């Protein structure tokens, strides 16, 4: 159903590529005014230019001053922010993740700064605008890794689990003010470039972990759009898996 986000002003962090870009596109098709944000200005301008009703505002979310400037610029461009999607994640090549015995404190803190602390900072800055407006929706993009371990992802998994807890805390503190906070928890998301060279054995293994089918970025984006919309006005504090049932499969396989 189109128009479910009419009159909403949304910031989608980490939206110059991948899942964030698709969330921004879907939000715009649903009627929202969308702020695309990231650090790469050239890529951001290109993404926003391809989405009707979107504008790019550059920001490094590890910098609190830039976070505040981002929110101020979004309000100046479109009006008070009513939807925040915390999707930004640190670059896997820069994260330096691994087993806890190999993970330095600096690497752990760097991952948390982008994947968790930045989301909390954005919430702290945006929520006052939502309080003034009388409503608001926040959606955190977590990961199946928060509840289902994978090798060498200690900091990433901890940060994503933190996003789940952050949503519950915001729910407790602000639900009576008309502000909702939910989490979408994707599993494996199909990626044409990454998956191009996958072997038949790998495909069989991946498909065997799903009860329905593997998810696309569009599947996840529509789940985020629903939770951000007024159709979900009585839904807050939840973690919604969008993973083809793969979390359930894992639970069943463990008995």
Residue 59: φ, ψ to 5° = -165, 140
Q: Which tokens is 87 given?
A: 């999707």
Question: How far apart (Å, rounded) are the C-alpha atoms in residues 27 and 4?
Answer: 9
Query: Among 56, 78, 156, 174, which one carries the catalytic annotation?
Result: 156
CA 247 to the chain's CA centroid: 19
Tokens at residue 218, please? 């569009």
Residue 77: strand, helix, or coil: helix
DSSP secondary structure string for all residues of 114-177: IIIIHHHHHHHHHHHHHHHHT-EEEEEE--GGGTS--TT-HHHHHHHHHHHHHHHHHHHHHGGG
The rounded distance, in Å, linking the Cα atoms of 247 and 186 is 10
* Bridge partners (DSSP) listed for residue 46: none
- Coil/strand/helix, residue 190: coil
Question: Looking up tokens 């994978």, which residue turns up?
Answer: 150
Annotated catalytic, 156? Answer: yes
Start-to-end CA distance of the chain, whole Å, equals: 39
Active site residues: 156
């Amino acid at each position: 159903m189109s128009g479910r986000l009419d009159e909403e002003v949304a910031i989608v962090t980490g939206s110059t590529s991948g899942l964030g870009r698709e969330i921004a596109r879907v939000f715009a098709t649903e009627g929202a005014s969308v702020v695309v944000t990231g650090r790469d200005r050239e890529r951001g301008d290109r993404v926003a230019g391809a989405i009707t009703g979107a504008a790019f505002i550059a920001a490094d979310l590890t910098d609190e001053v830039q976070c505040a400037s981002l929110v101020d610029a979004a309000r100046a461009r479109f009006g008070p922010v009513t939807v925040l999607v915390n999707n930004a994640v640190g670059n896997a090549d820069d994260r330096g993740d691994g087993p806890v015995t190999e993970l330095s404190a600096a690497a752990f803190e760097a991952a948390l700064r982008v994947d968790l602390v930045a989301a909390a900072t954005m919430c702290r800055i945006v929520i006052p605008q939502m309080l003034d407006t009388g409503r608001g929706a926040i959606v955190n993009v977590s990961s199946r890794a928060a509840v289902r371990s994978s090798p060498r992802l200690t900091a990433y998994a901890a940060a994503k689990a933190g996003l789940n807890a952050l949503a519950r805390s915001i729910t407790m503190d602000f639900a009576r003010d008309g502000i909702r906070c939910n989490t979408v928890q994707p599993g494996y998301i199909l990626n044409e470039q990454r998956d191009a060279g996958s072997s038949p054995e790998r495909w069989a293994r991946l498909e065997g972990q799903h009860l329905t089918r593997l998810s696309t970025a569009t599947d996840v984006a529509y789940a985020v759009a629903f939770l951000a919309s007024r159709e979900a006005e009585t839904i807050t504090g939840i973690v919604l898996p969008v993973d083809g049932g793969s979390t359930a499969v894992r639970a069943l396989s463990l008995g």
